[in-house]
Amino acid sequence: MTNIEKLAKILSQSASAVFFGGAGMSTESGIPDFRSASGIYNQKLNQTFSPEEMASHSFFVTHPEEFFAFYRERFVYLDAKPNAGHIALAELERRGILSAVVTQNIDGLHQVAGSKVVYELHGSIRRSYCVKCGAKYDIDFVMKNIPVPHCEKCGGIVKPDVVLYGEGLDSDTISNSIRAIADADTLIVGGTSLIVYPAAGLIDYFRGQHLVLINKTATHADADAELVIREPIGETLSKAVALLK
């Protein structure tokens, strides 16, 4: 039995599967990841500041113009489309097999593909808000108002609703993610190195029957997994779903 067939069999036995994904989920959509050899954090982007510094809350506060220039160029990929993996997950939800997607990604592609229950641990580029009055804005407002977007109501800076270094995760999103993973009968972990905490620690709440890892490189959870697949996520999920009756 191939790994794809094994995954299809696991899915056919599942009624409350959860997908936990990272940057590798969107590389097949043309969005670069962060920590691979060609990822954003290994590129020399600025002579003065590292990418991690430029993606921090303190940099947003002290260097807003540089922050937004970096953000628009490196975090926003509006031309990206959902790949076969996003579409497969939406189909699994539609069939009543998948109960939730928990993602570290900020691109919003799961929702574009049709997934309804998506917990975005690190926020989304598709939402923004005024740091002063809380007024909500969409991604177009941030992209068009250069160099720094200011609120039309109070003049405060409009910040992308993404979690920057130095910021905490949303408590409700964390609670919902923990609940979904704890209640899952199958957990599929895909496209994440499982080294970024606190997000990576969420898989410790899984008590279900089937743990599946789909990732190009090894993770600390491989030894605990029933199935480890080293193939592209989109292709893997799409083929597995195609085998389901």
Is 210 an annotated catalytic residue? Answer: no
Q: pLDDT tens digits, residue range 124-166? A: 999 999 999 999 999 999 999 999 999 999 999 999 999 999 9
Position 193 in a domain: yes
Class of residue 106 by CB neighbours under 10 A (exposed 0-12, middle 13-18, buried 19+): buried
* Residues facing residue 123 across a β-bridge: 162
- φ/ψ of residue 123, rounded to 5: 85, -160
173 falls within a domain: yes
Tokens of 100: 């939730």
Flag whether 109 is in a domain: yes
Answer yes or no: is 144 within a domain: no
Q: Is residue 57 part of a domain?
A: no
For residues 57 and 167, is the Cβ–Cβ distance under 8 A?
yes
CA dihedral 115, 118, 121, 123 (to 10 degrees): 70
pLDDT number for residue 199: 81
Tokens representing 29?
Answer: 């959509």
Strand residue runs (E) in the chain:
17-21, 98-103, 118-120, 123-130, 136-138, 158-162, 186-190, 210-214, 227-229
pLDDT value of position 34: 57
| 144/98 Cα distance (integer angstroms) | 37
Q: List, for residues 44-89, the tens digit of each pLDDT value.
A: 455 578 888 999 999 999 999 999 999 999 899 989 999 999 999 9
Query: Any idea what the CATH number is for the domain that residue 23 is in?
Result: 3.40.50.1220
Number of compact structural domains in the chain:
1
Of 57, 63, 110, 122, the catalytic one is 122
Range of the domain at 98: 3-31+82-122+168-243
- Name the amino acid, one letter, at 153: K
CB of 210 within 8 A of CB of 226? yes
Residue 68 counted as domain residue: no
pLDDT digits (tens, 9 = 90+) for 6-52: 999 999 999 999 999 999 999 999 998 754 444 444 444 555 788 88
Residue 218 lies in a domain: yes
CA-CA distance, 192 to 142, in Å (whole number)? 28
Query: In this structure, is residue 221 part of a structural domain?
Result: yes
Q: What was the pLDDT predicted at 40?
A: 46
pLDDT, one tens digit per residue, over 166-176 is 999 999 999 99
Task: Show the tokens assigned to 12.
Answer: 């056919």
Q: Are strands 158-162 and 123-130 parallel, antiparallel or unpaired?
A: antiparallel
**Rounded CA gap, 175 and 181, in Å?**
10
